[in-house]
Amino acid sequence: MNITKFDIQNSTMASKKIITKKSLDFFEKYLNNASPTGYEWEGQKIWMDYLKPYVDDFITDTYGTAVAVINPEAEYKVVIEGHSDEISWYVNYITDNGLLYVIRNGGSDHQIAPSKWVNIHTKTGIVKGVFGWPAIHTRRSGKEEVPKLDNIFIDIGAKDKAEVEKMGVHVGCVITYPDEFHVLNNDKFVCRALDNRAGGFMIAEVARLLHENGKKLPFGLYITNSVQEEIGLRGAEMITQTIKPNVAIVTDVTHDTTTPMIEKKTQGDCAMGKGPVIAYAPAVQQKLRERIIETAEANNIPFQRAANSRYTGTDTDAFAYSNGGVASALISLPLRYMHTTVETVHRDDVENVIRLIYETLLNIESGETFSYFE
């Protein structure tokens, strides 16, 4: 499809600010709610409630993936997708003196754990705890232990194992960090779980803008908030079999590589504030990716490029290699400090990801195969 100067001049989104007070309030509420992998449903309810005015229908599945649908009767189906789950911990072992040892639920970072508050989710509510660590005075100079999965532990103030159990804590309880949403220097969003609650927010904003701007799409749009990405793309693997899409545009986060101790030769060169990152990888269908790039260029949307080796490590892989092959692409949001409690993104990048997905949808026609042989 050719994109003309007329398209540029008439784009309603070229310079308009996208995030409103209402949408930012939703983003904050959505982020502040814990949605650990396998326990995403309360966050999905918040997400669906926000989307209700802008869509025609919803689909949910057994494991908690939620899909908001526009034009559900259409045969040709386009997915825009993010994932709803966040990394967390499980209680794995309780010592006789009432301390808790943990295992990961997703890619939780053991090195940031010491001195962090935690929320332990029980049947009767939240039990507070702290990741303890030996005081500097008690550690051997020159032979200090570093935090590792087998030496970090949680103290919930219990005197023994029996008191732990009386408090409702048992092996298998899921553990999250309580850190909440903040704005840094006016234009940076900081929170745990921006990976990838930001994705769910951005695709929801695309739906809102389509509705508010009166855009009618010639296909069914499946705004998909998948579960269980952090443990192997499992939610996307399931929901793609239900939707059976023709096209999938996935959004997730990627590393800002401009901060210390990151090697650009291996991690690439991407920076927060310089626009969405468009992925190159075997799973990314090249004609679809080029459509996205043409759309960005035509609408003056800044973008960056990143190369992925054998796989993207995102739900793109699950959609691409399903149903005999689905034309899929990945648009990423640059993020600092991934899998910590202070994940950081730039407001302009968030708006430009939204803008790029929105404009790309307006440049897809029903029935397109994106075949390399047409």
Encode pLDDT of 48-92 as tens digits.
999 999 999 999 999 999 999 999 999 999 999 999 999 999 999
307: pLDDT confidence band, cut at 50, 70 and 90?
very high
Classify domain 88-176 at the CATH superfamily level.
Answer: Peptidase M42, domain 2 (2.40.30.40)
Q: pLDDT tens across 6-34, in order?
A: 344 344 455 679 999 999 999 999 999 99
The Cα–Cα gap between 314 and 252 comes to: 7
Residue 4 has pLDDT above 80, yes or no: no
Pinpoint the alpha helices (H) of 52-187: 161-166
**Cβ atoms < 10 Å from Cβ of 373:** 4
Secondary structure class of 179 (helix, strand, coil): coil
Range in 98-102, 144-148, 173-177, 291-295 with the lowest mean pLDDT:
144-148
Q: In the chain, which segments carry CATH 3.40.630.10?
A: 5-86+192-361
| Residue 18 CB partners (closer than 8 Å, separation 6+) | 205, 209, 351, 354, 355
The tokens describing 7, both together, are 């398209």
Q: Is the dihedral angle over the CA atoms 128, 132, 135, 138 positive or is it negative?
A: positive
Q: In the chain, which segments carry CATH 2.40.30.40?
A: 88-176
Class of the CATH domain delimited by 5-86+192-361: alpha beta
Is 144 one of the annotated active-site residues of the chain? no
Contact by Cβ (8 Å): 279, 101: no
The predicted pLDDT at position 15 comes to 60
Q: Which of 40, 81, 205, 229 is catalytic?
A: 229
* Partners of 294 in the β-ladder: none
The Cα–Cα gap between 149 and 101 comes to: 9
The candidate with the shortest Cα–Cα distance to 227, out of 30, 22, 39, is 39
**Cβ atoms < 10 Å from Cβ of 96:** 8
Task: Read off the pTM.
Answer: 0.95
The candidate with the shortest Cα–Cα distance to 283, out of 234, 327, 333, is 327
* Partners of 225 in the β-ladder: 66, 82
| Residue 244 CB partners (closer than 8 Å, separation 6+) | 77, 323
Read off the DSSP letter of residue 362: T
The Cα–Cα gap between 220 and 241 comes to: 16
